[in-house]
Structure 1
Amino acid sequence: MTIESFPGSSGYIDADVDKKITYFSNGYVLGLTLVAGIGGLLFGYDTGVISGALLYIRDDFEAVEKSSLLQETIVSMALVGAMIGSAAGGWINDAYGRKRATLLADVVFAIGSLVMAAAPNPYVLILGRLLVGLGVGVASVTAPMLYCRSCPNLKINVGGLVSTNVLMITGGQFLSYLVNLAFTEVPGTWRWMLGVAAVPAIVQFFLMLLLPESPRWLYMKKSKSEAIVVLSKIYDPYRLEEELDQLSNNLEEEKQRKIAISYLDIFRIKEIRLAFFAGAGLQAFQQFTGINTVMYYSPQHKFQMAGFPTSNQLSLSTIPHIAFFLESSGFTNVGWLAVLGLALYIAFFAPGMGPVPWTVNSEIYPESYRGICGGMSATVNWISNLIVAQSFLSIADAVGTGSTFLILAGIAVGAFGFVFVFIPETKGLTFDEVERIWKEKAWGSSRGSESLLEKGDES
């Protein structure tokens, strides 16, 4: 199949035309965004649901009630699974494609949810949490890659696509609180809370069967004709040939170089090392600035200390600003200041450090290293998440809540400096142009040519 087989194709491209595609104007891309976004919904739901479910798990299992270590293990085992899943996710995506990786994540997540719902003891419950984490970890790598492989040269609104995934994560967290509240008076409580997550995973599985594989992966790994069919759903004919030429050049270069990718190459090749340092650093700062301290301040810690019964704890957990206010002493202006600070913190995190690390990591790596670097940077995110989850309360007990948040504020200032120094602007650039950015950072700009770093900064 060739480009001439598509109606309206002129067989050439006007190099001066740079038409931007938005996902709201393209039905295929919009559908892909929504289906892939279910993975983000599962991600967010799993993050939030355990805080409420653990209240009832403690009531059913005496061993959990008596052991804080067992409680921490139940909570953190999903993070351990996510670290493993994200580490393997890059290889799975490169070897088997984005579609199969998503289907695998759905199957593992659904099985894990059902195992948790039927768990006869806390140890089976921990196994279910591990499986759910594995699914979340693979999905955390796959979703951003799935979006961006449908727009090979960054001419589509990639930031909007990946931001939609982050919005779905936030929606999943909110949904988990509503579901927890809905099942407070239902027999089985926590089993329903944890088991209901299998439903969206199953829905995504069957919807994903209806979608094609990523065109870039198809072109590189399987069938050029299938890739052309998919790309024709995204690009107008006059743009389609340009995309195919770009894919063809990438494939030819890869064949000529006969690249054997290894983890050591990421640290040995200077431009790859710089790109990974930037991507992984952003992922670490996303967690160390403390967003999940809000999520992991579970009802059992916040509201039991305030003297609320379990059902009211879950009701109040849907409005955690309120949570900090109620914990403050005497409803004074200090409490309102804490609420305002938390609101501003979340408001600025949402459009910035929330989606940007995932967007940047889906854009900054050369094609040959994109899967492995994306998986490793996602692993850094989960490791950082685990560190924060396991240390925040201990640090707060040791130095006080105020001092702990001052530490987080200092980390946020460090994150600002990190972004200013190490993160280039990638808006409007192709993957090849972004690759040239890192080569310029590593080895300097070519004499007599415009620096793409300057071009990126201007856009």
Structure 2
Amino acid sequence: MAIAGAIIGAAVGGWMNDRYGRRTAILIADFLFLIGAVIMASAPSAPLLIVGRIFVGLGVGMASMTSPLYISEASPAKIRGALVSTNGFLITGGQFLSYLINLAFTKAPGTWRWMLGVAGLPPIVQFILMFGLPESPRWLFRKGREEEAKAILRKIYPVDEVEQEILDLKESVEAEIREEGSSEKINIIKLLQTKTVRRGLTAGVGLQVFQQFVGINTVMYYSPTIVQLAGFASNRTALLLSLVTAGLNAFGSIVSIYFIDRTGRKKLLIISLLGLVISLGVLSGVFHETTSHSPVVSSVETSHFSNYTCPDYSSAANSATWDCMKCLKASSPHCGFCASPTNKLLPGACLISNDTVKKQCHDESRLWYTRGCPSKYGWLALIGLALYIIFFSEEIEKMLEVRALHWRFWEKSDEPKEKSQEV
């Protein structure tokens, strides 16, 4: 639902940017995100929690398309690329910080309410600070507020450069307005028949689509769950290990920034995709091994907790064939696996899943599993997850690759350069 909200937020954000300005759009995105965080933290039920997620998604979608636009239009040309790339790096850095905050709240009363509610602080800070920043000079020029735009440009650029920047911006905006007011209609079919346009469009759109199809959102949202599925029982341990993967995401962004101009976009992209295939293969293999070779359920161990035996296990005709995975799949009610105190890979107990049973299991120095089962290959899953994050971390640079690939196709195309440039 957060992603669905982000789709709507990005679509509405485009219109809002043109109508009310970049700064106003960011302020509205902050407000939506704050409302979403408050709703989530105070949600008495799952439906209201989902409503909060939608509000957060609206804010994320609007901010995701507005922030790079605002940065590119309100920053000096010399550092514009660096600032846009820094924005992407800070996204991955923010993910790392969020896992760190979650780790701090694992022992706090209310746990997840604090984790979700604290997300309301950054939009408050940004909302206040945005009043100290100027509107986009380009948007002001388009709205006929030239004097305001010139005043902002004089603050951004040195005295010897500002007049030329004002002239360039004015000419660019006037050219845009003339194109918009032209009576000549764009022939979409004719454009798509142009090799340059078609190749650039295919590369740009395809890159963004497949970037999502490899499952990055699932990994970033559910990495603690993935860690638990790999055989790590503790919520705190899962969050701590997820913190490492989020840190690797930020580290990978720095590494890719360094290599992108040295190895080339295409080569880096191919290496990244091959790495993703390998790391996902490792994860698949580990999960298959975990589910097909999980510890068996022992009737002796289970009878040790006689008052809390899983009902499905008690009534099963062939309970001797039960293992940890079958125990976790029990549905009436949900059950958990209490591992052997000697070795987590030895036969354990299949019990009703609740806080009382969990505490009793822990009191006997046993591990309590409700999502994944004990496995000796869990560390391989962590390696696979870490490699996946590192290889994917060209997210910032892939945005730049869209432009770079388009111009490569233009340079290699059969179209005259003047015609391609015009298109």
- TM-score, reference length from structure 1: 0.56
Give the aligned partner of residue 244 of structure 1.
166
Q: Return closer, same or farther for 1:335/1:195 CA change in 2, 3 Å cut-off.
A: closer
Cα shift at 1:349: 3.2
In structure 2, C-alpha distance between the alignment counterparts of 1:185 and 1:216, rounded to whole Å: 49
Q: Return closer, same or farther for 1:97/1:164 CA change in 2, 3 Å cut-off.
A: same
2:397 maps to a residue whose letter is: V
Name stretches of at least 5 consecutive residues in structure 1 with no aligned partner: 1-76, 365-418, 426-436, 454-459
Give the aligned partner of residue 287 of structure 1.
212
2:99 maps to a residue whose letter is: Y
In structure 2, C-alpha distance between the alignment counterparts of 1:121 and 1:260, rounded to whole Å: 53
CA RMSD of aligned residues (A): 3.8
Cα shift at 1:279: 3.4
Give the aligned partner of residue 95 of structure 1.
19
Find 2:91's aligned residue among 169, 189, 193: 169
Find 1:347's aligned residue among 378, 385, 390: 390
Aligned sequence identity (%): 45
Find 1:311's aligned residue among 225, 228, 236: 236
Cα shift at 1:265: 7.5
**Residues 72-221 of structure 1 correspond to what in structure 2 (within 5 A)?**
77-151=1-75, 155-221=77-143
Q: Return closer, same or farther for 1:128/1:186 CA change in 2, 3 Å cut-off.
A: same
Give the aligned partner of residue 353 of structure 2.
none
Q: Return closer, same or farther for 1:164/1:256 CA change in 2, 3 Å cut-off.
A: closer
Q: Which has the higher contact order (CA 8 A, sep 6+)?
A: 1
Give yes or no for contact 1:79–1:133 (8 Å, CA) kept in 2: yes
Cα shift at 1:167: 1.4
Find 1:356's aligned residue among 397, 401, 406: 397
In structure 1, C-alpha distance between the alignment counterparts of 2:97 and 2:151, rounded to whole Å: 37
Per-residue CA deviations over 1:133-160 (Å, capped at 9, x if unaligned) read 00000000011101111248xx333332
Q: Return closer, same or farther for 1:97/1:438 CA change in 2, 3 Å cut-off.
A: farther
Indicate the structure (1 or 2) with the bigger Cα radius of gyration. Answer: 2
Give the aligned partner of residue 406 of structure 2.
423
Q: Return closer, same or farther for 1:259/1:151 CA change in 2, 3 Å cut-off.
A: farther
Q: Return closer, same or farther for 1:326/1:98 CA change in 2, 3 Å cut-off.
A: same
Q: Return closer, same or farther for 1:165/1:313 CA change in 2, 3 Å cut-off.
A: same
Cα shift at 1:342: 4.9
Give the aligned partner of residue 444 of structure 1.
416
Per-residue CA deviations over 1:68-98 (Å, capped at 9, x if unaligned) read xxxxxxxxx1111011101111111111111
**Residues 360-439 of structure 1 correspond to what in structure 2 (within 5 A)?**
422-424=405-407
1:228 maps to a residue whose letter is: K
SS at match of 1:134: helix
Per-residue CA deviations over 1:343-381 (Å, capped at 9, x if unaligned) read 45433433x3x10244467xx5xxxxxxxxxxxxxxxxx
Q: Return closer, same or farther for 1:276/1:114 CA change in 2, 3 Å cut-off.
A: farther
Cα shift at 1:224: 0.8
Cα shift at 1:300: 3.2
In structure 1, C-alpha distance between the alignment counterparts of 2:40 and 2:379, rounded to whole Å: 38
In structure 1, C-alpha distance between the alignment counterparts of 2:5 and 2:189, rounded to whole Å: 25
Give yes or no for contact 1:147–1:162 (8 Å, CA) kept in 2: yes
In structure 2, C-alpha distance between the alignment counterparts of 1:229 and 1:317, rounded to whole Å: 46
2:407 maps to a residue whose letter is: P
Name stretches of at least 5 consecutive residues in structure 2 with no aligned partner: 249-281, 291-374
SS at match of 2:407: coil
Give the aligned partner of residue 271 of structure 2.
none
Give yes or no for contact 1:304–1:313 (8 Å, CA) kept in 2: no
Cα shift at 1:108: 0.4
Q: Return closer, same or farther for 1:126/1:264 CA change in 2, 3 Å cut-off.
A: farther
Give the aligned partner of residue 41 of structure 1.
none
In structure 2, C-alpha distance between the alignment counterparts of 1:277 and 1:91, rounded to whole Å: 25
1:217 maps to a residue whose letter is: W
In structure 2, C-alpha distance between the alignment counterparts of 1:221 and 1:272, rounded to whole Å: 30
Q: Return closer, same or farther for 1:158/1:344 CA change in 2, 3 Å cut-off.
A: farther
In structure 2, C-alpha distance between the alignment counterparts of 1:180 and 1:257, rounded to whole Å: 50
Q: Return closer, same or farther for 1:344/1:264 CA change in 2, 3 Å cut-off.
A: farther
Paired residue total? 299
2:66 maps to a residue whose letter is: T
Give the aligned partner of residue 231 of structure 1.
153
Cα shift at 1:291: 3.0
Give yes or no for contact 2:101–2:115 (8 Å, CA) kept in 1: yes
Q: Return closer, same or farther for 1:107/1:360 CA change in 2, 3 Å cut-off.
A: farther
Cα shift at 1:444: 2.6
- TM-score, reference length from structure 2: 0.60
SS at match of 1:196: helix
2:392 maps to a residue whose letter is: F
